[in-house]
Amino acid sequence: MREVKVVSNAATHKRGFGAVLWDYLTTVDHKKVAHLYLFGGGFFFLVGGLEAMLIRIQLVKPNSEFLSNGLYNEVLTMHGTTMIFLAAMPLIFALMNAIIPLQIGARDVAFPFINSLGFWLFLFGGLILNCSWFLGGAPDAGWTSYAPLSTTSPGHGVDFYVIGLQIAGAGTLIGGINFLVTIVNMRAPGMTYMRMPLFTWASFITSILILFAFPALTVGLFLLMFDRMFDSAFFDVSLGGNAVIWEHIFWIFGHPEVYILILPLFGLFSDLFSTFSKKRLFGYTAMVFATMLIAFLGFMVWAHHMFTVGLGPVANSIFAIATMAIAVPTGIKIFNWLATMWGGQITINSAMLWALGFIPTFTLGGMTGVMVASVVADYQYHDSYFVVAHFHYVIVGGTIFGIFAGLHYWWPKMFGKILHEGMGKLTFWTFLIGFHLTFFIQHFLGLMGMPRRYSTFAPNQGLDLGNLISTIGAFFMAFGVIVFVINVFYTAAKGEKAPDDPWDGRTLEWATASPPAHYNFKQVPLVRGLDPLWIEKTEGKGKMTPSEPLGEIHMPNPSILPFMMSFGLFVAGFGFIYQVDNKAWLAVVVIGMGITFGSMLIRSLKDDLGYHITKEELEREAD
Amino acid sequence: MKGWMGKFRALTLFGSLALILSGCGQENLSALIPKGYGAEKSLDLIILTAVIMLFVLIIVMILYVTVLVRFRKKKGQKDFIPKQVEGNKTLETIWTVIPIVLLIIIAVPTVTATFDLADQSEASKSLNVEVTGNQYWWHFNYEGEEIQTSQDLYIPTGERVYLNMKSSDVIHSFWVPAISGKMDVNPENENTMFIEAYEEGVYYGKCAELCGPSHALMDFKIIAVSPEEFDQWVEDMKNVDPEAVAEGETAQQGQALFQESNCMGCHAIGSSPVQVGPNLTNFGERTQVAGILDYNKENLISWIMDPESIKPGNKMTGKYPDLSEEEASKIADYLMQLKPSSITPEDAGK
Ligand code: HEM
Ligand SMILES: [Cu+2]
């Protein structure tokens, strides 16, 4: 390896592996944090996908003995937990990190240090959770971890769930706060709220959801942790606790969580339909308010996950109607997207394909959403494969399709290369067909009497064929994902260099280089309306007018401290888990917390004022 | 264009194919072939909501297809700049108001049905059964009759039967799709629901809430017989003599072994309310062994010898001394003789 001195502010010259690694471990640049989230989330997406395949292989035929019942529950739990917390959320954070500062014309996020801390917390939380596989068994009480099953589950599986999610959840919470402040404070001159692109708008509202929803999760996990590790009895009925309260706490977090997963992608789709139809978004204001309304109602409907708990007809009716109400703003969005394309000139490439595939898929998911909201009908759907089908239609059809759309769309901005179109289309079609094969049939399986979370089913109950078709579909999806991974490596090695604005974009991220310089904009642009770049293009300039003269840029220094703080919690996590068996493990808690608090102390005491890029340096860098 | 057409066709094709091949699922299990009051109410709403929502879906799909056909950039077509439309108040109002109207059409019958199914006004006049969910089996206590059974619940057709449900450990959920929707069985409070079967039959029930490794094996049956047959069954069950001596030498030895091996520590025969394990009073009439295996002696022997391999995590494992195959066979002979009633599941099968 070559001797390289790491110069943090030197942009891109070839460096050795060690240097690149160190760069990523210490980076506070939102674009690199985005890469980290992408690879972290992508890795867990593959893990979760592998778990999904194990589930479907087990269910390919009745009475199958591929996985034992206990192992099946672990795989099932980890699939759900991984996909929601360790794949979908971080991948959304990858897109948000990569794009939001660019879309609002900012040089950076509000708290670069916290941004990187958020990532490392997520990663170490995810690692702890997955360590459980090798240390005596994964959690097995479902991603919802209902008590008392979760409080009485033997072994340490659920402890890993509690600690892992607590750490990862803290990362998400501070990440959300960071975006909130960034969008409030760092918008370029002229970027009023009602000129923000929909992706930024939706991410903004999502961040508010994170701010209110994640503390509920934190509290719930603490209670569960105390019950399991320190002999409290919040959920122990025999000692005066209450088990149903866990369901409330979980869903007060959990229902907003599903909107956290979908809203940013709604925003992204809005941007995509507008860009690839060459039209401004139809009903912009309505879209913004619909997003807010969905977010608000998202907090009001948690008990629709609990229609069968026995809350009584009054509560059930209220929650049913509140739930149905969400379909109205969601419908407004669908129609506005169609109206955006109406009269436009639609370009179909692999990014747009995902957006187009989203519309029928998600509409079907929303349709079954209204169906499950109808209480008495839900007495049949609940906890059956019908619900499995419903939420995969919305989460995969919305979130995962959206993430793929976003990756194909923004890959050139993130990596300076365009993903291979042919492979992109192959991924889309196999995934789409596989998806509908897998999940459409599950609506019927559910109604035909197949409960969810079943490790096996009996032959000759009418469930054999549906399950077989479902498994075949899953293999198509897996194939699509593999092609995508190949595409990523192929593009990295051979992909064509992307121009700054490959899609004839309308928003500010396309006004910078691909990939952007580490300070994003040499001069912060002046925003004169919605779709600022488009305005400049139609007026013949094609370039943003700067809002300031060329001058010094202040940048934050890289730091290893976020990594160290998270690593400390990772170590302490094992201490907490194992001190139940042997109090000597408390020493590990002390060591781990020592690392974390030590790092925090250093952070507090050491002046770190960052550095400046001088005007001369900026002038030297070619336009 | 080929793309979406292909997809749309594939979708409808597979949907209808699956339906044709499997009908609406297995009779006496499927929620799509309702045989009871609750299931019928649910299916009405399922159909109503599905039709209304399909109507919305079709409208969206028509617009979607039109947009793609008319406004897709054609090969060789020059770039043009479409008109930058801001929005349209009338259109946006239309697609706000129409969904609200549709939702009201759904909401009204939903709320009515919700209150209807929660009705408990007849509970005091009806048959009440206390249901207890256990990892991984169900206990039924006929209130006022002093009859205990497990796994198989006998009910009369055409009458409301109130189920008062509670769990002894984790949360379970009581679901007999063909008769009624599900209701959770919680450890802290009693949930009440009523069921009413229209026809005689053996209906499959499943636990719908994840409750541990053997969650998928927590099956049970509802055996609906005519009211006269039900009365007969109650009569027979009340007159059980738990001490009755088995017939035949091996069965008698089995009966003795059953006493010696501490089986009675958890199980009961007769109306004793022991609830650590299933009540075995009418075990000879069971439809299945342990709720899931075909009812035959071989399966019963394997269950007695090693329940863990059949239902992982169950609470019978390790609670009694090891038994040889011969001993297990003798106990099986005894248990299969426990047929106190002249009314059997066959009476429910038409
Ligand atoms: C029109 C919009 C929607 C409606 C009306 C709706 C309604 C519902 C209802 C009533 C349930 C409870 C079903 C049951 O447990 O029996 C449910 C479950 C679920 N929904 Fe939605 N939903 C909508 C959108 C979404 C979105 C956008 C997502 C995710 C991105 C989502 C994810 C889920 C998940 C994960 C569950 C399953 C929860 C579980 O039991 O583990 N939903 N939905
Ligand atoms: Cu159960």
ipTM for this model: 0.92
Q: How far apart are CA A112 and CA A97, in angstroms?
A: 10
Pocket flag, ligand 1, residue A255 (CB < 6 Å): no
pLDDT at position A597 over 80: yes
Pocket flag, ligand 1, residue A399 (CB < 6 Å): yes
Q: What's the half-sphere exposure (Cβ side, CA atoms, 13 Å) at A246?
A: 28
Give whole-number Cα distances, B320 to A499, B263, B267, in Å: 75, 7, 12
Q: What is the mean pLDDT of chain A?
A: 94
> Are both B123-237 and B249-347 of the same fold?
yes
Q: In the prediction, which pLDDT does A4 show?
A: 39
Higher pLDDT among residues B9 and A526, named by residue: A526
Q: What is the dihedral of CA B133, B139, B143, B144, to 10 degrees?
A: -160
Structure tokens at A553: 């840029």
Percent over 90 (pLDDT), chain A = 94
- Which numbered ligand comes closest to the C-alpha of B212? 2
Higher pLDDT among residues A623 and B34, named by residue: B34
Q: In the prediction, which pLDDT does B28 show?
A: 92
Q: In the prediction, which pLDDT does A5 show?
A: 40
Sign, Cα dihedral of A552, A553, A559, A561: positive
pLDDT, average across residues A102-116: 96
Q: Provide the 8-state DSSP code for B264.
A: G
pLDDT at position B304 over 90: yes
Pick among B105, B114, B174 to test the A interface (most A CBs inside 10 A): B114
Question: Are A466 and B18 within 8 A, CB to CB?
Answer: yes
Q: What's the half-sphere exposure (Cβ side, CA atoms, 13 Å) at A238?
A: 8
- CB contact, 8 Å: A468 with chain B? no
Question: Are A374 and B67 within 8 A, CB to CB?
Answer: no
Q: In the prediction, which pLDDT does B10 show?
A: 57
Q: How far apart are CA A530 and CA A537, in angstroms?
A: 13
User: Cβ distance A167 to A121 under 8 Å?
Assistant: yes
pLDDT at position A381 over 60: yes
pLDDT at position A362 over 50: yes
pLDDT category, B9, cuts 50, 70, 90? low
Q: How far apart are CA B199 and CA B350, in angstroms?
A: 9
Query: Residue A621: which region, alpha, beta or left (left: phi > 0; alpha: psi -120 to 50)?
Result: beta
Pocket flag, ligand 1, residue A144 (CB < 6 Å): yes
CATH topology of domain B123-237: Immunoglobulin-like (2.60.40)
Q: How far apart are CA A484 and CA A542, in angstroms?
A: 33
Structure tokens at A445: 């399986």
pLDDT, average across residues A459-474: 94
Taking the CA of residue A399 as reference, the ligand 1 atom at the shortest distance is: 30
The residues, ordered by sequence, that sit 6+ positions from A144 with a Cβ below 8 Å of its Cβ are: A80, A247, A250, A254
pLDDT category, A448, cuts 50, 70, 90? very high
Q: Provide the 8-state DSSP code for A553.
A: E
pLDDT category, A2, cuts 50, 70, 90? very low
Structure tokens at A567: 């690593």
pLDDT at position A156 over 60: yes
User: Cβ distance B13 to B5 under 8 Å?
Assistant: no
pLDDT tens digits along A404-429: 999 999 999 999 999 999 999 999 99
Pocket flag, ligand 1, residue A258 (CB < 6 Å): yes
Pick among A77, A314, A374, A384 to test the B interface (most B CBs inside 10 A): A374
- Residue/partner pairs of A502-506 with CB below 8 Å, 24 or more apart: A502/A412, A502/A418, A503/A275, A503/A276, A503/A347, A503/A351, A503/A409, A504/A275, A504/A278, A504/A537, A505/A275, A505/A533, A505/A534, A506/A271, A506/A274, A506/A275, A506/A280, A506/A531, A506/A533, A506/A534
Strand partners, B176: B180
- Which numbered ligand comes closest to the C-alpha of A387? 1
In this structure, the residue with its CA closest to atom 14 of ligand 1 is: A382
Q: In the prediction, which pLDDT does B21 show?
A: 53
Chain B (83-112) residues lying within 8 Å, Cβ to Cβ, of chain A:
83-88, 91-92, 95-96, 99-100, 103, 106-107, 110-111
Mean pLDDT lowest for which of A591-605, B16-30, B280-294? B16-30
Q: In the prediction, which pLDDT does B350 show?
A: 55
Q: In the prediction, which pLDDT does A10 show?
A: 41
Domain boundaries, chain B: 33-69+85-117, 123-237, 249-347
Q: In the prediction, which pLDDT does A236 show?
A: 94
Q: In chain B, what residues touch A325 (CB-CB under 8 Å)?
A: 103
A364 phi/psi in degrees, rounded to 5: -65, -40
Q: How far apart are CA A407 and CA A405, in angstroms?
A: 5
Give whole-number Cα distances, A197 to A69, A95, A103, A184, A270, in Å: 48, 14, 7, 14, 9
Q: Which of A604, A579, A559, A573 is nearest to A168 (CA)?
A: A573
Q: With b meaning 16 or more CB within 10 Å and e meaning fewer, what string describes B230-244?
A: bebbbebbeebeeee
pLDDT at position B17 over 70: no
Structure tokens at A318: 């209220």
- CB contact, 8 Å: A148 with chain B? yes
Would you mind telling me the total number of residues written for chain B in this entry? 350
Chain A (34-63) residues lying within 8 Å, Cβ to Cβ, of chain B:
none
Q: How far apart are CA B256 and CA B252, in angstroms?
A: 6
The residues, ordered by sequence, that sit 6+ positions from B146 with a Cβ below 8 Å of its Cβ are: B238, B271
pLDDT, average across residues A447-452: 96
- Which numbered ligand comes closest to the C-alpha of B136? 2
User: Cβ distance A30 to A115 under 8 Å?
Assistant: yes
In this structure, the residue with its CA closest to atom 19 of ligand 1 is: A391
Q: Estimate the crossing angle of helix A157-185 against helix A69-81, to 10 degrees.
A: 10
Pocket flag, ligand 1, residue A370 (CB < 6 Å): yes
pLDDT category, A279, cuts 50, 70, 90? very high
Question: Are B53 and A367 within 8 A, CB to CB?
Answer: yes
Strand partners, B153: B222
H/E segment holding residue A50: helix A30-58
Give whole-number Cα distances, A43 to A12, A31, A46, in Å: 25, 18, 5
Nearest residue of A to residue B213 by CA position? A70
Q: In the prediction, which pLDDT does B193 show?
A: 96
Q: In the prediction, which pLDDT does B1 show?
A: 38
Full DSSP string of A170-200:
HHHHHHHHHHHHHHHH-PPTT--GGGS-HHH
pLDDT tens digits along A473-506: 999 999 999 999 999 999 999 988 999 999 999 9
pLDDT at position A596 over 60: yes
Q: In the prediction, which pLDDT does A16 show?
A: 87
Q: How far apart are CA A336 and CA A340, in angstroms?
A: 6
Chain B (53-72) residues lying within 8 Å, Cβ to Cβ, of chain A:
53-54, 56-57, 60-61, 63-64, 67-68, 71-72
Percent over 70 (pLDDT), chain A = 97
- CB contact, 8 Å: B5 with chain A? no
User: Cβ distance A60 to A463 under 8 Å?
Assistant: no
Q: In the prediction, which pLDDT does A6 show?
A: 41
User: Cβ distance A408 to A351 under 8 Å?
Assistant: yes
H/E segment holding residue B48: helix B37-71
Closest CA of chain A from B150, distance in Å: 20
pLDDT category, B244, cuts 50, 70, 90? confident
Chain A (313-342) residues lying within 8 Å, Cβ to Cβ, of chain B:
313, 316-317, 320-321, 324-325, 327-328, 331-332, 334-336, 338-339, 341-342
- Number of Cβ within a 10 Å radius of residue A583: 9
Closest CA of chain A from B208, distance in Å: 5
| Residue with token string 């109090």 | A583
| Residue with token string 């096996």 | A456
User: Cβ distance B200 to B157 under 8 Å?
Assistant: yes
Helix then strand count (H, E) for chain A reads 21, 2
User: Cβ distance B58 to A364 under 8 Å?
Assistant: no
Q: Which of A30, A38, A80, A31 is nearest to A55 (CA)?
A: A80
- CB contact, 8 Å: A456 with chain B? yes
Homologous superfamily in CATH for domain B249-347: Cupredoxins -  blue copper proteins (2.60.40.420)
Mean pLDDT lowest for which of A178-192, A356-370, A608-622, B302-316? A608-622
Closest CA of chain B from A155, distance in Å: 13
Side chain identity, residue A85 = F
- CB contact, 8 Å: A282 with chain B? yes
Candidate from A305, A306, A362, A370 with most ligand 1 atoms within 8 A of CB, to mutate = A305
Sign, Cα dihedral of A251, A257, A262, A267: positive
Q: How far apart are CA A405 and CA A401, in angstroms?
A: 6
pLDDT at position A14 over 80: no
Taking the CA of residue A362 as reference, the ligand 1 atom at the shortest distance is: 27
Report if pTM > 0.90: yes
Structure tokens at B185: 């069985």
Q: What is the mean pLDDT of chain B?
A: 91
H/E segment holding residue B138: strand B137-142
Mean pLDDT lowest for which of A263-277, A359-373, B70-84? B70-84
